């Protein structure tokens, strides 16, 4: 399995750039003329195939739509358990990330969260994190 630490190469162009943006507080999403949202890396809109994608500012907060607490992880996240992973709704797009700043079992659907980039315990790899706002 590949690793994706910030100091390691090769990077995944598009995806790592997207994480850089969130880390710098300048998160983006991609929008097409039909107002479909998506996340990089993309060449066309996954919902309609339009090649006319523009970068738009990612809303600063989202709302948790579904959450699970993972107790049995893959080796890449073995030392992070138990951790909450959630899908959060940011309006035009949803994001998937780990939830920190609250006990995993206490994370609830509907919680307002902000995205950030932190590091995993296990391999010190970058990971998208949601923190309650």
Phi, psi of 21 (to 5 degrees): -65, -45
Nearer to other proteins, 51 or 75 (CB): 75
- Shortest Å distance, C-beta 68 to other proteins: 4
- Shortest Å distance, C-beta 50 to other proteins: 15
Nearer to other proteins, 8 or 12 (CB): 12
- Shortest Å distance, C-beta 14 to other proteins: 9
- Shortest Å distance, C-beta 90 to other proteins: 10
What DSSP string runs through the chain? -----TTSSS--TTHHHHHHHHHTT--EEEE-TT--EE-SS-SS-TTT--S--EEEEPPS-EEEEEEEEESS--GGGGGG-SEEEEEEE-SS-EEEEEE-SS-GGG--TT-EEEEEEEE-TTT--EEEEEEE-
Binding site for other proteins (CB under 8 A): 1, 4, 12, 15, 38-39, 41, 46, 65-78, 80, 83, 85-87, 93-98, 105, 109, 120, 125-128
Nearer to other proteins, 33 or 41 (CB): 41
Nearer to other proteins, 24 or 72 (CB): 72
């Amino acid at each position: 399995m590949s690793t994706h630490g910030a100091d390691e190469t090769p990077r995944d162009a598009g995806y790592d750039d997207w994480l850089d943006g969130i880390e710098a507080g300048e998160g983006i999403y991609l929008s097409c003329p039909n107002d479909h949202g998506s996340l990089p890396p993309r060449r066309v809109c996954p919902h309609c195939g339009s090649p006319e994608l523009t970068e738009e500012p990612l809303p600063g907060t989202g709302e948790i739509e579904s959450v699970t607490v993972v107790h049995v992880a893959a080796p890449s996240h073995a030392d992070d358990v138990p951790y909450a992973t959630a899908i959060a709704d940011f309006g035009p797009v949803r994001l998937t990330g780990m939830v920190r700043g609250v006990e995993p079992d206490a994370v609830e659907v509907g919680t307002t969260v902000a995205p950030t980039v932190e590091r995993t315990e296990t391999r010190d790899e970058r990971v998208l994190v949601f923190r309650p706002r």
